[in-house]
Structure 1
Amino acid sequence: MKLFFISDIHGSAYYLAKAIERFQEEKADYIIILGDHLYHGARNPLPAEYNPKKVIEILNSFADRIIAVRGNCDCEVDEMLLNFPIMATYSTILYDNRRLFLTHGHIYNEKNVPKLKDGDVFIFGHTHIPQLEKKENLYIINPGSITLPKDNNPHTYGILENSIFRVKDLEGNIYKEINF
């Protein structure tokens, strides 16, 4: 199974369209969205082609292949317009005999990691900064942001296949990777 991870779309139809192109080229099975789907957020600038209605249209066309969690900029009204649930604080996926704990990062984060088994994977967004590391027998992963990267990082997404998590830029180039 090949999983495609994005976070922090923040209403940008431009960057979502680029990410969807990569999803299709990667031939991934599912899109995992780690929150902040439609709204740009009061602290953020308006992103390129800020168009939540277009983002809704694009995401709804892939609704049967999306697993999503709530970001700090997401609300119940957003879920009413999307054809898939987004209001869960976290989700889990069993992958290759380990748990992938998926969350946005504003509630559960590196300072508040839920109880996980050695070898499990904690995957979050929110910081807009790619991160791949092993810490105290857990894997800590952040695919970065497709729309508003921080700290001079490129616009990125994540791919998980064969127990290798790769963060790639929106041109498909490997930026970072970790094997578990």
Structure 2
Amino acid sequence: MKILIVSDTHGRHRNLEEVLDREGPIDMLVHLGDVEGGEDYICALADCETHIIAGNNDFFSDLSREQEFFIGKYRVFITHGHSYYVSMGTKELKKEARRRGVDIVMYGHTHVPHLEVDGNLTVLNPGSLSYPRQADRRAGYMIMEIDHNGKARFEQCFV
């Protein structure tokens, strides 16, 4: 199973279109917020199971603010992250993820890629496809793959 994880496209879809072409068929797309009205286009473009949540810039959106679901055997919690003060670190987010009993928590908002395994919790942020903020300013996304044994592997990628 191949999952594309993106965030913070802010209504700009060129890099997402390029990534979908590059990565080939995917089984699921996870968008971690700040779509700014692009959710219908993104769902049509992905043409697979899609999970999209609202970010702090999705002011008039009907999208949910958070979701929990399974990817294979993994219980996943997705949030944009601003409600958990992720700009100041992941402490509050990890606390909430553990309270919910999830295996993986995914967030956006900071526009900076992050992948951390803290005990039995995987914490990740793919960065931003439109406005990256890390030092090299490369547009980022992540690929999550579930192998034939059900084990997850994560890869940070750049456009």
Tell me if both proteins adopt one fold, taking TM over 0.5 as the criterion: yes
**1:19, 1:146 within 8 Å by CA — same for their partners in 2?**
no
Deviation at 1:60, TM superposition (A): 4.7
Q: What TM-score results when the alignment is normalised by the length of structure 2?
A: 0.78
Residue 57 (structure 2) aligned to one of 73, 82, 90: 73
**In 2: Cα distance, 1:164 partner to 1:30 partner:** 15
Partner of 2:73: 97
**Counterpart-to-counterpart distance in 1, 2:156 and 2:8:** 15
1:36 maps to 2:28: no
Q: State, as a whole percentage, how many aligned pairs show the same letter.
A: 29
Q: Which moved more, 1:98-107 or 1:60-69?
A: 60-69
- SS class of match (1:165): strand
Partner of 2:8: 8
- State the SS of the aligned residue for 2:33: coil
Deviations 1:131-166 (A, max 9, x none): 111124311111111111112242111111120011
**Equivalent residues of 2:113, 2:134 under 8 A apart:** no
Q: For the residues of structure 1 that align with 2:158 and 2:107, how far apart are their CA atoms?
A: 17
| Corresponding position of 2:141 | 157
Segments of 5+ residues of structure 2 without an aligned counterpart are: 147-151
Q: What one-letter code is carried by the residue in structure 2 that aligns with 1:65? A: E
Cα shift readout 1:85-112 (whole Å, capped 9, x = no counterpart): xx21111121343211111111134232
Seen in structure 2, the aligned counterparts of structure 1 residues 70 and 56 have a Cα distance that, compared at 3 Å, is closer
Greater shift in the superposed pair: 120-129 or 14-23: 14-23
Q: Secondary structure at the match of 1:88?
A: coil
Secondary structure in 1 matching 2:14: helix
Q: For 2:48 and 2:71, how far apart are their aligned partners in 1? A: 19
Question: Contact 1:31/1:65 (CA < 8 Å) preserved in 2?
Answer: yes
* 1:128 has 2:126 as partner: no
SS at match of 1:11: coil
Letter of the 1:133 partner, please give it.
Answer: E
Selected match of 1:88 from 64, 88, 91: 64
Judging changes above 3 Å, is the alpha-carbon distance between structure 1 residues 37 and 137 closer, same or farther for their aligned structure 2 residues?
Answer: same
Residue 75 of structure 1: CA displacement? 2.4
8 Å Cα contact 2:43/2:50 also seen in 1: no
